[in-house]
Structure 1
Amino acid sequence: MVRVLIAAIIVVAASADGAAGKDYDIAINNGRVIDPETGLDDIRHVGVKDGAIATISKRPLAGAQTIDAQGLVVAPGFIDRNTYVLGPELFRLRAADGVTTTFNFEEGANDVPAAYDALKDQALINFGFSSSWAGARLATLSKTPPAMNKGIAELGDIGPDEMAAIAKSSVTDEQLAAIIAIVEQGLKDGAPAVGMGVEYMPGATMTEVLEVFKLAAKYNRSVQIHLRDWDRTSDYAYIYEPIAGALLSGAAIHISHLNSSAANYVERNLDQLDIARQAGVAVTTECYPYTAGMNDIRAEMWADWREWPEERFHNYQWSQTGERLTKDNFAEYREKGGLVIIHWMKEEWIDACVAHPETQIASDGGWDPNGGHPRDAGTNTSVLGRFVREKGLLSLPAAIRKMSYLPATSLEAAAPQMARKGRLQKGMDADIVIFNAGTVSDRATYAEPQLAPEGIDYVIVNGVVIKTPDGFVDGAAPGEPIRLPPAE
């Protein structure tokens, strides 16, 4: 009788975990499961059903699809707050790097519904757009409306002289009201954030910026800001602005790529942000793990290029050909327009920013058929390979926390969908990456910026396997829009 009872208990326990039948859509067995919120880091078995994580078990599970993750890490899918040119090509680049959710937040969209509609039912991974302040400025101050490409403002017929004038202009009260109205419409249309490239619009006063922060706070949305350039007279005003703005407005402010914005002052700025957070100010930041940046060669930040010494031009590399620039071809390409790689950051700046416990990881990368930057394809795998395994600057759980949990928690107040992401727990969305911690590494270079990384074996989005060791699954498009319901 005792033996029968024990046998019955074993059967019931096995059935509860799904071992007695294929109770799960996907069973991921024998992996090192890491959850950054609870601190779980142990061998477990994960059951996925109806797009969500149904169980985390100590016993093997059975599923319609079974993945043996022995020797592999099972982690929440990575979240990238800072990408551009969202579409099939960009989604593949980011998914190969372990990303399951990505956002165009710094640039953003002028026509938010059009931007989301352009990707409807065809997204490999989850995605979202901010409401673009820079685009609203262009629409308000330009002589002709900016061209629109799937909801994103482009320069179109706005020439370099007019663009420079717009960038340097402060606005009247009437113009500010018009800008605010455009940005507000994007928030009403469901954008989870406001995108602000303030360095590219240096004529914007701090009053204008604060008014946009207040608008974001009104709708309980995040602000993603590219800081102003350092100025000798204003000293650290570029970092004080988002800190003070978050305090005065109540908005949650996220600073793009602090490694390149702060440069030599990165450790000082990290300390300043720590002090602000300890005081209850909602301000967060991110970095990417490369010593070169990239930007459009027409950017207003380089308006003084004619005054540069010749040797400075050699730090600039034309992404389409790989050639280093001179004053002559810089002038030629600036007239033409396109992306240029800037070699100027020091390794110790990157190390400090990546190693800080509260910085997020974001690529600041996009898609360019004519070239690009290795961060487009290799940001997260670079952190896992170089900064975790080779340099030992981060533990593996700490790196995963930076790439999943921290981005999710910084956005969940503005976008409630994010409260189900960035964790590997029962009830969370089944956005999962499975990788080999011993081999994972980026392969992309400045010469070949779109080479896929190694070591990312499986990527699962909303309970659908989109990538296996054999490649991407044809026809998979389980990505969902991260968006709030439109408001009246």
Structure 2
Amino acid sequence: MSKFKLSLIASALITLVACADSTNNSSLVADVNQGNNCKFESSPSNIQFDSVIVNGRVMDPGCGFDDIRNIGIKDGKIVAITKDSIIADKIIDASGKVVAPGFIDFHIHTNTEFGFNLLMRDGVTTALELEGGTYPLKGWLADKSEKTPVNYGASVAHSGIRAAVLDGYVHPDGNLIEATLGGDLAKNFQWSVKVSNTEERQQIVELIDNQLQQGAIGLGITVGYYSNGASSPEIYDVIKATGKYELPSFVHARFSGQKPPTSGYMSLAEVISAGAISNSPMVLQHFHNQTLSETRDAIQMFEDANANGIKVIGEVYPYNFGNTFMFADFLQPENYGPGFGRSYEDIIHPDGSRMTKESFDALLKKAPQTPVIFYGAQEADMNYAVSHPSVIIGSDAGPLFDMTTGKFAAADADPKNVKGHPRSAGSHAKVLRMAREQKLMPLMLAISKMSYMQAQFLATSGISSMHNKGKVQLGTDADLIVFDANTVTDNADENYAAFATTGITDMLVNGVQTVKNEQVISGVNPGQPVFSDLKK
């Protein structure tokens, strides 16, 4: 059994046991501390803290620690976790609330102040563009330097490099979602339909290697959008290029649906096998909306892979409907109907109207880059995936649009006029609410699936700086959230996609407070870039 698999099992067991007796768990904490080198301090020396969080229920999924403590922070790090009284000029009173590691989201596509504000209200302290990725990385990072409130990083985008090689198109800021929505990539389809020749494949591999050397967090593969263009040998070659450095691949797999031969389940097997052979750890993103009724079978495949030393993890968002572009391969009628068991009425226009064959055909011809909502997995399959101990949570947060201007929502946009997918605003709070109201999982496990498990996956996959995140322990980064476990609620839905989460009252990123009393502190940008260990 792989060390990664054992780590996930241990984390799940610790969180389950800790939650079973959160009122008297001192012996558990002692045992866990000894076994996992967890670091806690009972009697801090005379430290002049930058800020303190007092009287909170500290929950650390790394060790299963769950008890009332005070936390001292200095120079962006946690330097005290104690029952003793501690003071500082900046004090957050967390009485009656949980103090937990900030959430780490592998799956974001937002690039606006409005979008980041919603993510912060939802508890996200590290927002990574890993599924879609970016190209070129340098331009993308420059666009975010010193003006991003959360930690940030990206994979190298297979799709963006295909566009560079096959179409000669490079977005100056590496923002491929913006390029698609702007029509550049939606109107020039060579990157999505052309099968690369041997020379072109070699160019693609060389460019990926170059971006990995610059510190990209692995490779983002969205072959679900170019399933007829990228051959299986090309997919193998690009994963092999990533596995050369034992860096991870983040995959939106080739097919979506449950009808053979182009089932979502089969497309997962394609990339898992490539990762296993080439030693590239694998994240299968939003897989439940690809495997649908075969979601439980897919999770079993991940479990079996890990049991045999193949590092694979599945990711889902807590919704049974997704958000994509009209031109997406999997949304076309020949696939969506028979493959998903859905109809045109299950596709929703940005204005909220349900599609018909006529409106679908007209919009696909006129504006193929239009973002739409589509229904996929059934509720029971989604709930099973959301609550499974080895599955992580990612939002797939995308751009939101102000319907009064027709543009990306500005920072001061009225949420009532903003459309998109509610996952951009409430994915993490929804998981916490589901844990509370539906009893899907213990609270500690829910927190772990949104913080610790992500950090551990990256930390053991060539991004060692992530060892300091996803935990509430001495010496770890002070990326922390404070929330009311009894009231935390997602407020966004299909009709009002930009209604912010309530109940997450405070947030610190690298020790700097960015949310206070449920209000984002404007102009505070302590976010730092996340690089792979290849970054010189």
When normalised by structure 2's length, the TM-score is: 0.83
Determine whether 1:108 maps to 2:137.
no
Alignment partners' CA distance in 1, 2:248 and 2:357: 40
Q: CA distance change for structure 1 residues 380 and 160 in 2, over 3 Å: closer, same or farther?
A: closer
Aligned residue in 2 for 1:468: 516
Residue 106 of structure 2 is aligned to residue 81 of structure 1? yes
Pick one of 98, 113, 119 that aligns with 2:123.
Answer: 98
Say if 1:25 and 1:50, in contact at 8 Å, map to a contact too: yes
CA positional deviation for 1:475: 1.9
Shift of 1:316: 0.8
Structure 2 gap segments, 5+ residues each: 1-40, 403-418
Q: Could you say what secondary structure the match of 2:355 adopts?
A: coil
Q: What displacement does 1:332 show?
A: 2.9
| Cα deviation, residue 180, structure 1 | 1.0
Tell me if 1:255 matches 2:284. Answer: yes
2:243 paired with 1:217 = yes
Displacement of 1:170 in angstroms is 2.3
2:381 aligned with 1:349, yes or no?
yes
- Could you tell me how far apart the structure 2 residues matched to 1:234 and 1:129 are? 29
Q: Distance in 2 between matches of 1:191 and 1:306?
A: 33
Residue ranges of structure 1 left out of the alignment (5+ in a row): 1-13
1:414, CA displacement in angstroms? 2.3
- Does the CA-based 8 Å contact 1:133-1:195 persist in structure 2? yes
Aligned counterparts of 1:22 and 1:275: Cα–Cα separation in 2: 48
Aligned to 1:400, which of 424, 447, 461?
447
Q: List per-residue Cα deviations over 1:147-197 (Å, max 9, x = no partner).
A: 51522242577576751x543332211010111122222112211121001
Checking the alignment, whether the CA contact within 8 Å between 2:281 and 2:312 is kept in structure 1 is yes
Q: Distance in 1 between matches of 2:251 and 2:53?
A: 39
Superposition TM-score, scaled by structure 1 size: 0.91
Aligned residue identity for 2:464:
P
1:351-403 C-alpha deviation (Å, 9 max, x unpaired): 11011001111001112224211100000000001x21100011000000000
Distance 1:450 1:429 in 2: 29
The Cα offsets for residues 187-246 of structure 1, whole Å up to 9 and x where unpaired, read as: 122111210011112132222111111111223321100112156136642121232122
2:415 equivalent to 1:390: no
Aligned residue for 1:10? none
**CA gap 1:376/1:470 in 2 versus in 1, 3 angstroms:** closer
Matched, 1:146 2:188: no
Q: 1:487 to 1:60 in 2, by over 3 A?
A: closer
Question: Are the equivalent residues in 2 in contact too, given 1:30–1:43 (CA < 8 A)?
Answer: yes
Separation in 1 of the partners of 2:400 and 2:424? 9
Change (3 A) 1:479 1:311: closer
Q: Secondary structure at the match of 1:74?
A: strand
1:266 aligns with 2:298: no
State the identity as a percent: 31
Instruction: Give the aligned residue type for 1:232.
Output: P
> How far apart are 1:431 and its partner, in Å?
0.1
Structure 2: distance between partners of 1:307 and 1:433? 40
On the 8 A contact 2:120/2:520 being kept in 1, the answer is no
Q: Distance in 2 between matches of 1:400 and 1:47?
A: 21
User: Is 2:458 the counterpart of 1:411?
Assistant: yes
Residue identity in the other structure for 1:377: A
1:455 aligns with 2:506: no
The one of 17, 21, 25 aligned to 2:44: 17
Which sits farther off after the overlay, 270-279 or 204-213? 204-213
**Equivalent in the alignment of 2:156:** 131
Pair 1:280-2:309 in alignment = yes
Q: Distance in 1 between matches of 2:184 and 2:396?
A: 25
Q: SS where residue 382 of structure 2 aligns?
A: helix
Give distance in 2, aligned partners of 1:131 and 1:314.
35
Among residues 427, 440, 449, which one is paired with 1:379 in the alignment?
427
Shift of 1:485: 6.9
What CA distance in whole angstroms lies between the structure 1 residues aligned with 2:531 and 2:170? 24
Per the TM alignment, residue 417 of structure 1 is displaced from its structure 2 partner at its CA by 1.6
Which letter maps to 2:304?
A: I
CA distance in 2, matches of 1:114, 1:166: 20
The aligned residue for residue 11 of structure 1 is none
SS at match of 2:155: strand
Contact 1:87/1:123, CA 8 A, preserved across alignment: no
1:233 to 261, 264, 270: 261
Secondary structure of the 1:314 match is: helix
Find the aligned partners of 1:209 and 1:241 in 2 and give their Cα distance: 9
Q: Distance in 2 between matches of 1:228 and 1:306?
A: 12
Secondary structure of residue in 2 paired with 1:411: helix
Shift of 1:60: 2.5
CA contact (8 A) 1:167 1:300 kept: no
Question: 1:405 and 1:365 mapped to 2: Cα distance?
Answer: 20
Cα pair 2:514 2:521 within 8 Å, conserved = yes
Q: 1:7 is matched with which residue?
A: none
Give the stretch that moved more between structures: 198-207 or 394-403: 198-207
* Alpha-carbon spacing, 1:158–1:96, altered in 2? closer, same or farther (3 Å): closer
1:119 paired residue number = 144
Tell me, yes or no, if structure 1 residue 32 matches structure 2 residue 63. Answer: no
Alignment counterpart, residue 339 of structure 1, candidates 368, 371, 379: 371
1:322 aligns with 2:352: yes
Superposed displacement of residue 133, structure 1:
0.4
In structure 2, distance between residues paired with 1:90 and 1:186: 26
Q: Give me the whole-angstrom Cα distance separating, in 2, the residues matched to 1:206 and 1:305.
A: 22
- Once residues 95 and 406 of structure 1 are traced to their aligned partners in structure 2, the CA distance between those partners, rounded to angstroms, is 19
Shift of residue 126, structure 1, vs aligned partner: 0.4
